[in-house]
Amino acid sequence: MSVAEWSLFVGILLLTMVFASSLLGRLPLSSAMVYLALGWLLGPEAGDVLRPDPSTNTVVLERIAEVALLISLFAVGLQLGVPLRDRRWLLPLRLAFVSMAAMVAMVTAVGVWLLDLPLGAAVLLGAIIAPTDPVLATGVQSDAGPRPDRLGFSLAGEGGLNDGAAFPFAMLGLGLLGMHEVGPGFLRWLSVDLLWATAGGVAIGAMLGTAVGRFVVYLRTRHGEAIGRDEFLALGLIGLAYGVSQLCLASGFLSVFAAGLALQRVREQPQRNTPALHAAAEVEGHSYETMATHPAHASATMHDSVQGFNEQLEKLAELALVLVVGAMLAYAKPLPAVWWFVPLTLVVLRPISVMPAIVGERLSRPQRVLIGWFGIRGIGSVFYLLLALRHGVGGDVADTLTSLTLWTVVASIVLHGLTAQPLMRRYWDRR
């Protein structure tokens, strides 16, 4: 297609999504389901417009997935306003680490015993399948704020954390295949890929998010500088957190998530004798410049502006990646194992994996059931698949990983997209 034809297509697509947004809200369909169908129609098996062959375009596709994942993780961090010392953080932490480790272990066992994969490839498959998606789970998330619904908060927190927590397991799988250095006795993997990558990523992101947020608020309230360009602030902080972490061999994904959390935790820097703004809570009657430089409202204005921009960017990233996933289906070989692996993963292994995380938690039966069901797979799984391919995984192993991953993601988008509205409506009606 020429530049003009691509421009026409993209314009029609975006305007169609605007015009059809109200209709989609009344139907039991998610936007991701629509993007997925469009991607397939544009792929080699239909329109033959998109040809995202993961074996030949690995690096480009990996970068697209990487950018989309970074945007989504930062957006989730901005939305989770629960204080960090609040006990409600225990459940998403246990889901992100304990449940994910259990999921990796179970998928590894399936890979070795039922799929005849080498141990390293089986561990790699577990790391690819285990992460849940915070973007595609928006239909089950509650409103942001200090007192969100526990179900939505836990699923969002899990999705924000486990995309980064899956990294050590992916490196372990690659190490067992001889494609990554794990050190004698797995010492390098344990110290660098697992412990430092996790703790360092969180620490670096939290430090940078806090420092940048406080500095911006200081400049605005004390000197009237650095006003506007909040879209640059969002992208700049994402790039800074990810770049510093990667250079320090820490988890860039956890760093970006922590940076979003830290930025929304930045508080005001009020001065004495500062006059109050009437109707400031509703931001009525006051310009952006007035709110952004007022000591009692500067940080809230900064957060709201950054979040608004990032949410729109997140929607575009979701559109781009899910379109690509739909087109990539043409390159997923129809392996017989798909027919039993996908339902086993979504219907059996996911509910089992959350059991250790919910022990001792005061959850209602509907909350336990919905947490076990809504383990939505998406961007994280696609990224780790492409990461494995870029590191040199090939042959039958690559075909197996590609087929099982893509069909699991597609099934998750469709099944969870169809059930999100009715199940959540029933859940809210019972509260």
Our measurement of the distance from residue 96's CA atom to the centroid of its chain's CA atoms, rounded to an integer in Å, reads: 12
Q: Is 270 helix (H, G, I), strand (E, B) or coil?
A: coil
How many Cβ atoms from other residues are within 10 Å of residue 409's Cβ?
30
- Residues of the chain with pLDDT > 90, as a percent, come to 55
| Most confident residue range from 36-40, 167-171, 227-231, 263-267 | 167-171
DSSP string, 44-77: TTTT------TTTSHHHHHHHHHHHHHHHHHHHH
Which of 244, 237, 224, 286 is CA-nearest to residue 266? Answer: 237
How many Cβ atoms from other residues are within 10 Å of residue 195's Cβ?
12
Look at the block and give the residue holding tokens 């979504």: 346
Q: What is the mean pLDDT of residues 302-315?
A: 84
> How much is the mean pLDDT over the chain?
87
Q: What is the mean pLDDT of residues 311-335?
A: 90
pTM of the entire structure?
0.92
Residue 198 carries which side chain, given as an amino acid letter?
T
Q: Is 285 helix (H, G, I), strand (E, B) or coil?
A: coil
Q: Is 278 helix (H, G, I), strand (E, B) or coil?
A: coil
